[in-house]
């Protein structure tokens, strides 16, 4: 069955060829209400949205599936006045794919008030900084952590093994550069362990 009656395709650099049109009342609106951006790196994804920011900010929602620099994508979502409403992650052919539904507006939650008791105790005791908690949310996804998503647990365990191996190799080198890299890896491992900590507690 022909679909040209129902859909119109457009070859476009990002959203540049998506148009503003007038509705029956003569009001201008964007001809789409949602967007799906997938199968590319986070930096390119951010650039596509930036290049057509006015258009994206008129959409009700969009779905993002970045394949790199995912933390930067989550940060960017907040910066443009949206929030992640839902998140999922799958493992296929040995690769992990996170995806997020992004909607307009702040989520209305004060994350520092809505943290589980075990985490609040760590923050109050000074074991974890609030900035580190936000960094972990950006890196691994607040919804995935709060929901103790099993695929995220697999991802974190795999990342931990990877970075522990890198750190072991770096310890065999005695250079200033290797020491600086070791510091970076230790911080990365701390973030991973903070993520894994969510899977050790019963969520309310």
Give 136-169 pLDDT, tens digit per residue.
Answer: 999 999 999 999 999 999 999 999 999 999 999 9
Cβ-in-10-Å burial (0-12, 13-18, 19+) of 44 comes to middle
Are the beta carbons of 123 and 133 closer than 8 angstroms? yes
127 pLDDT above the threshold of 70: yes
Each residue's pLDDT tens digit, 62-85: 999 999 999 999 999 999 989 999
| Percentage of the chain modeled with pLDDT above 70 | 95
d(Cα 51, Cα 61) in Å, to the nearest integer? 17
Mean pLDDT of 12-24: 87
Are the beta carbons of 65 and 37 closer than 8 angstroms? yes
Which among 163, 150, 165, 172 is positioned nearest to 190, based on CA atoms?
163
Task: Give pLDDT, residue 84.
Answer: 93
Task: Give pLDDT, residue 4.
Answer: 78
Q: How confident is the model at residue 173 (pLDDT cuts 50, 70, 90)?
A: confident
172 pLDDT above the threshold of 70: yes
Highest mean pLDDT among 127-131, 193-197, 200-204 belongs to 193-197
d(Cα 147, Cα 113) in Å, to the nearest integer? 17
- CA distance to 135, 146, 147, per residue, from 122 (Å): 15, 16, 19
């Amino acid at each position: 069955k022909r679909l040209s009656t129902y859909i119109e395709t457009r070859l476009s650099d990002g959203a540049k060829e998506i148009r503003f049109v007038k509705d029956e009342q003569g009001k201008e609106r964007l001809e789409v209400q949602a967007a799906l951006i997938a199968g590319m790196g986070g930096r390119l994804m951010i650039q596509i949205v930036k290049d057509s920011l006015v258009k994206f900010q008129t959409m009700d929602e969009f779905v993002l599936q970045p394949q790199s620099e995912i933390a930067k994508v989550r940060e960017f979502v907040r910066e443009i006045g949206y929030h992640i409403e839902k998140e999922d992650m799958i493992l296929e052919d040995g690769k992990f794919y996170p995806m997020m539904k992004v909607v307009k507006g702040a989520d209305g939650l004060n994350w520092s008030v809505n943290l589980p008791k075990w985490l609040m105790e760590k923050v109050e005791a000074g074991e974890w900084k609030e900035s580190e908690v936000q960094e972990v949310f950006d890196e691994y996804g607040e919804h995935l952590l709060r929901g103790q998503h099993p695929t995220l647990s697999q991802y974190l365990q795999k990342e931990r093994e990877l970075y522990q191996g890198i750190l072991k190799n770096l310890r065999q080198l005695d250079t200033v550069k290797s020491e600086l890299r070791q510091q970076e890896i230790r911080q990365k491992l701390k973030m991973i362990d903070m993520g894994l900590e969510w899977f050790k507690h019963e969520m309310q």
